[in-house]
Amino acid sequence: MSIERFPWLNEVISSYKDISFPSAAIIEGESGLAKKQLANYFAQKLLCSDILAPCGECNSCNYFSAGSHPDYCFIGHNSCSSVLNTYSKAKPEALISKKIEGIRALNEFIAMTHSVSERRVVVVFDAHLMNINAQNALLKTLEELPQNKHIFIVSNQRKYFLPTIYSRSSLISIKNPSTSDLNQWILDQGYIDFSILNFAPDSTPLEIEKLINSDMAGQHMDISQNLNSFCLGEITTPDLIKFYKEINIPFEEKINSIILFLKTCLGINQDFYKSHPSITSIQNIELDLRKASDLIEELVDYKHLLHKVPSLNEQIGLNNFFYKIKILFS
C-alpha cells in the first residue's frame, strides 16, 4: 500500500527525507490515522540500501515487502514477527507488545548484529497497551540502544508512557485531518455517496473507510437518528430497545455506540464539535457536564464488565442506560 494514500502524513514524511532518524521515536495519535503504515514506511526507508530510500527494488526492499527481512521485526497486541520466537523461551501467546516477555524478546533481537542492511529496526505496535513492566523493560533498551539500531513505538493514546521513555525518544504526533481535507480524501477514495456528515465528528480516515467497506456507515446514521429521536421524545424506550435488539452487532458495540452518541452530544454542547444534522436533541438544552460525564464513565465501566461477565442481560442493561439518558435530556 502506497504511503501517498495518506496525505495527512506528508508533513511528517517530508521532515524525515534523509535517514538521520532518531534511535527511538514515538508515533502517537488516534486510531485510524495510518500510524502503522507510517512506521513501516520509515522502517523500510532505514533498511533500504538506495540513497533514494525506500526504492522498492533493492534486495533489502524485496525482503521487507516479502515480510522476511532479517533486520526487521515487529510486535503487536496479538502477534509478532516469527523470528522473536527464537529469542524467547516464553509461550508464543506471551510474545505480544503488552507483556514483558514480548518486549524482552524484542530487546534480544535489537541487540544482535545486523546482517542484510546497515541498520536493524523494530516496531512496537499497540504500545498503548503495554503494562508498566513492559514499559520498564523497553526503557532499559532505550537507555542502552546501540548505534544504527532504531525503535518505533506506535500508540493510539497520547502522553501514555513513562516520562523517561518520552525523554529518550523523539515524538511524532499525528493530527487529525481538517474537515475539508477529510471530505476531499473520502471523495478521492471513490466514496462519492459519503461525507463526514455521515460519521461522528471525531472520526478518523481509516475508521471511516472501515465503516464504509463493512456497510456500517448507514447503520451508524440509523443509530444516531434513533438515539436523537429518543432524546427528543419522538420514540419510546421499548421502541429504542427493539431497534437495538434488531441491530446485527455485538452487545459491546451497542454500548460503544451509546458512548459515542453521548460524547458527540457533549462535544457539540460544549462547542468542541460543530453541530451535526443528525443530532438536534441538544439544540435547546444545556447538558449537565458532570452528569453526562458520569454516565459515559458508567457505560465504559459496564463495557469492561462485559468481558468478565458476558452473560449480562442485554435488555436490562439497555433499559437502565436509556432511563438515565432520558433524565439527562429532560
Residue spans in the chain of domains classed CATH 3.40.50.300: 3-173
pLDDT tens for each residue of 21-57:
889 999 999 999 999 999 999 999 999 988 777 888 8
pLDDT tens for each residue of 93-144:
878 888 888 888 888 888 888 888 999 999 999 999 888 998 999 998 898 8
Band (83; pLDDT cuts 50, 70, 90): confident
Distances 70 to 47, 121, 285, 297 between C-alpha atoms, Å: 10, 10, 60, 45
Nearest to 209 by CA among 20, 18, 64, 31: 31
Say if residues 42 and 16 touch (Cβ distance below 8 Å): yes
Residue spans in the chain of domains classed CATH 1.20.272: 216-328
The CATH class that applies to domain 216-328 reads mainly alpha
Cα distance between residue 327 and residue 330, in whole Å = 5
Cα distance between residue 7 and residue 93, in whole Å = 36
**pTM (2 d.p.):** 0.83
CATH for 3-173? Answer: 3.40.50.300
